[in-house]
Structure 1
Amino acid sequence: MSRFRANLLLLITAFIWGTAFVAQQNGLDHVGPFTFTGFRFVLGTLVVLPLGLREYYRLKSQGGSIQTKDWIGMLLCGLFLFTGSASQQIGLMNTSVTNAGFFTGLYVPMVPLIMLVFWRQLPHWTIWPAAFGCLVGTYYLSGGSFSALNTGDVWILGGSIFWALQVIVIGFVVKSTQTPVLVAATQFGVCAILGVSIAIPLETIELQSVIAAGPDLLYAGILSIGVAFTLQAIAQRHTPQADAAIIMSGEILFAALAGALIQGERLTTEGYIGCAIMFSCILAVELLPLLRRRRKAIA
C-alpha cells in the first residue's frame, strides 16, 4: 500500500472517530449511557472478533501462545477503555461535542506524565510546556473561568485519564503478544460485557428505545469501533509515525466541525483560542519527540 493511500485511510479513521461524538450524543436521546456503551461495544466486538481469532490461530500455528499475564493485561485494557468510554458517554449528556472532543484529546499529554509517575520514564521536554498549554487551553475553552466547567466537562476530563492508561497498557500488551487485533477484540468484548452488565440493573432497556438509537449505535459501534480500528491497524503499517500523529489528531477537529455543522454548536472567541492552544500542544507532544528520534537516526 502506498503512503498516500495509508494516510487517506487514517484521515477516514480520524473523520469517523471525530463525527462519532455526534452519534454518541444523539443516542442518549433514546437510551442511557451504559446501555449505549454496552451495545456499541457489542457491535464493535462482532466486527473485530473474527479478525482477532484469525490472528490468534495464526499465532498458535506458528508455535506461539498468549501468556496469562498478557490475558490479564488485555482485561485491564478493557477495564480502562470501558471506564474512559462510559465517562465520555456520561459527560456527553451535559457538554458539547466540541468540548468532549478536545477534552478527550488531553489523554495525549497525560500519557508521558503517567509514564513518569509510575514507570519513572523521563518524558520529552515538550510535555511540560504542553501540559501547561493544555491547562491554559482548558481555561479558555471553558469561557475564561474554570468554575464554568460543568459536570459533563468534568466527566470527560476524568475519563481522559483512563484513555491514557489504556494507551499505555495496550502498548505493553501488544509488544508482548504481537497480536494487536486480538488485543483489540478482547478489550472490546470486556467493554461490551461491563456495559451491558451495569446497564441492566441501573437503566431501563427497551427494545423500542434501542431500535430508535439504532443508527447512532451502528455508527458508533460498527464504524467507529469495528471499521475505524481495522483501518488504523492496516494504515499505520504503511505510513510514518509523524504522518499518523498529525492525521489522527484531526479527530478532535472533526469533532468540533461535526458539532458546529450537525449540532449547531458555536464557540466564543475564548473558546476558539482554547481549541487552538490545546490542538497545538497535543501536536507538539506527538511530533517533536518523533522529530528528535529521526534526527538521531540520521546522525
Structure 2
Amino acid sequence: MTQPVQADASTFDDVVLPSQTHVPLTRARSNALLLLVAVIWGSAFVAQSFAMRSLGSLMFTGLRFALGAAVVAPFAWREWRMLRARNRQPRPRDLVHIAGLGTLLFLGAAMQQVGMQTTTVTNAGFLTALYIPLVPVLGWIASRHLPHWTTWLAAAGCVAGSWLLTGGGSLANFRTGDWWIIASSLPWAVHVMLVGRAANKLHGAMLVACGQFIACSALALVLGLATEPVTAHGVGQAFGAIVYTGVLSVGIGFTLQVVAQRHSRPADSAIVLSSESVFSAAAGALFMGDRIGATGLFGCALILACVLMVQLQPIVWRWFADSNRKPA
C-alpha cells in the first residue's frame, strides 16, 4: 500500500522534476487535462451499464484494465529504459506501492461496477462524486495540512450539486447499487490523494499508470474467473464497451490523471474530476433516456461553478497580492 500521506499542497505548484526534459505542466493546464478526464469518465458510465447485460462486474473490470495496460505499456517500457539508464528505475518497494495503487483502483472500480447493475447512469455519476469531500478530509487527517477555505466550500457545493442532479430524493429511495457506489468513494478518494505523489516520487507517470492497471486487472480477473460465469458470447456482446472503457477510460483517462496530478493539488484534482457527474448525466440523458429536470440542471450549474472556483481561486488571490504590493 502506498504511504497514506498527502503531499503538501505547495509542492504541486510549478513542479520541475530532474528527469524532465520538457516544460512542466502548469497548474491550469493540469486541471484542464483533469477536466478532459472527467468528460471521458462521465461518458464511460453508459458503456459500463451496457456491459452489465452480458458480462460479470469483475470480468468486465479485469478485461478493460488489461486493455488499458496494453495501451500504456509501450510508453511505460520507454520510460523504464530511460530511468534505468540513469539508475533510477523503480525498486521492489516502489513496485509494492504501485501494486497498492492498483488495489485501490480494483476496489473502487469493482464496487462501482457492481453498483451499476442496479442503479442509473445519472445516480452512478452523482454517487461516485462523494469521494470529493473525502480527499481534503483524509489529507487533513494524514498531514494536518488544512486546505484553503474555498476548497471546502467547493467540495460542499459539488456534493450539493450532485444531490440536486438526482432530483434531491431521500435516502429511502436509494437502491442496493447506490450503496455499492457510495462504498466505492473511499478507495477512489485515497487513490486521488496518493497517485500524484507516487508519480512524482518515481519520476514515471507511465510506469505508475501501467503498473496499477496490471495489478487491478490481475485481481479482478482472478476473482472473476473464480466467481462469475464467463462465455465467449458474453465477452463478444460486451466487446464494444470493453474497448471503449479500456482504451479511453482506462488507457487514456487514468493515465492523463496520473500525468496531470503530478502538478495539481489532490484536493483541487478531486473538485475538477467531480464534473464527471455532469457529463455522466448528459450521457445518460442522450443514450439511456435519463431525464434531467430543472433541479438537476441547477445541480449541474452548481458543480461547474465550483470547478471554476478552484480554477480561478489562485489567479484571484495572486491578483490581490500583486495589487497590495504595488506602491501607492
TM-score between the two structures when normalised by the length of structure 1: 0.84
Question: Distance between the aligned counterparts of 1:292 and 1:70, measured in 2?
Answer: 38
How far did residue 219 of structure 1 move?
Answer: 0.4
**Paired position in structure 2 for 1:259:** 284
Question: Distance between the aligned counterparts of 2:48 and 2:81, measured in 1?
Answer: 34
CA RMSD of aligned residues (A): 3.5
Question: Distance between the aligned counterparts of 2:182 and 2:72, measured in 1?
Answer: 28
From 81, 100, 111, the equivalent of 1:76 is: 100
Question: Distance between the aligned counterparts of 2:200 and 2:256, measured in 1?
Answer: 20
Question: Distance between the aligned counterparts of 1:122 and 1:146, measured in 2?
Answer: 30
From 149, 158, 171, the equivalent of 2:183 is: 158
From 49, 61, 66, the equivalent of 2:73 is: 49
Segment drifting more, 252-261 vs 230-239: 230-239
Q: Contact 2:132/2:155 (CA < 8 Å) preserved in 1?
A: no
Q: CA 1:138/1:228 → structure 2, altered by over 3 Å: closer, same or farther?
A: closer
Q: CA 1:107/1:20 → structure 2, altered by over 3 Å: closer, same or farther?
A: same
Q: CA 1:118/1:236 → structure 2, altered by over 3 Å: closer, same or farther?
A: closer
Q: CA 1:176/1:233 → structure 2, altered by over 3 Å: closer, same or farther?
A: closer
**Paired position in structure 1 for 2:152:** 128
Question: Distance between the aligned counterparts of 1:10 and 1:134, measured in 2?
Answer: 16
**Paired position in structure 1 for 2:11:** none
**Paired position in structure 1 for 2:17:** none
**Paired position in structure 2 for 1:18:** 42
The amino acid that maps onto 1:149 is F
Q: CA 1:144/1:279 → structure 2, altered by over 3 Å: closer, same or farther?
A: farther
From 95, 101, 111, the equivalent of 2:135 is: 111
**Paired position in structure 1 for 2:238:** 213
How far did residue 194 of structure 1 move?
Answer: 0.7
The amino acid that maps onto 1:211 is G
Q: Contact 2:192/2:269 (CA < 8 Å) preserved in 1?
A: no
The amino acid that maps onto 1:129 is L
The amino acid that maps onto 1:59 is L
Question: Distance between the aligned counterparts of 2:203 and 2:278, measured in 1?
Answer: 31
Q: Contact 1:20/1:224 (CA < 8 Å) preserved in 2?
A: yes
How far did residue 231 of structure 1 move?
Answer: 5.7
Q: Contact 1:109/1:130 (CA < 8 Å) preserved in 2?
A: no
Provide structure 2 residue ranges, at least 5 long, that are not aligned to the other structure. Answer: 1-22
The amino acid that maps onto 1:186 is G
Q: Secondary structure of 2:247's partner? A: helix
How far did residue 49 of structure 1 move?
Answer: 1.4
Q: Secondary structure of 1:201's partner? A: helix
Question: Distance between the aligned counterparts of 1:124 and 1:132, measured in 2?
Answer: 13
**Paired position in structure 2 for 1:99:** 123
Q: Contact 2:209/2:258 (CA < 8 Å) preserved in 1?
A: no
Q: Secondary structure of 1:126's partner? A: helix
How far did residue 253 of structure 1 move?
Answer: 2.4
Question: Distance between the aligned counterparts of 1:230 and 1:24, measured in 2?
Answer: 19
Cα offsets for 1:198-244 (capped at 9, x unmatched): 111211011110111101111011222113445667789999x9x99
TM-score between the two structures when normalised by the length of structure 2: 0.77
Q: CA 1:294/1:127 → structure 2, altered by over 3 Å: closer, same or farther?
A: same
How far did residue 175 of structure 1 move?
Answer: 1.5
Higher relative contact order (CA 8 A, sep 6+): 1
Is 1:171 the counterpart of 2:192? The answer is no
Cα offsets for 1:243-291 (capped at 9, x unmatched): 999975553322111100100001344444444444444554x436544
More helix by share: 1
Question: Distance between the aligned counterparts of 2:90 and 2:316, measured in 1?
Answer: 34
Q: CA 1:113/1:231 → structure 2, altered by over 3 Å: closer, same or farther?
A: closer
Q: Contact 1:109/1:282 (CA < 8 Å) preserved in 2?
A: no
Q: Contact 1:73/1:170 (CA < 8 Å) preserved in 2?
A: no
Q: Percent same amino acid among aligned pairs?
A: 41
Cα offsets for 1:130-171 (capped at 9, x unmatched): 444345445543633122222222222221221111112212
Alignment of 1:53-68 (within 5 A): 53-68=77-92
**Paired position in structure 1 for 2:57:** 33
Q: Secondary structure of 2:168's partner? A: coil
Alignment of 1:2-13 (within 5 A): 13=37
The amino acid that maps onto 1:88 is Q
Question: Distance between the aligned counterparts of 2:248 and 2:145, measured in 1?
Answer: 35
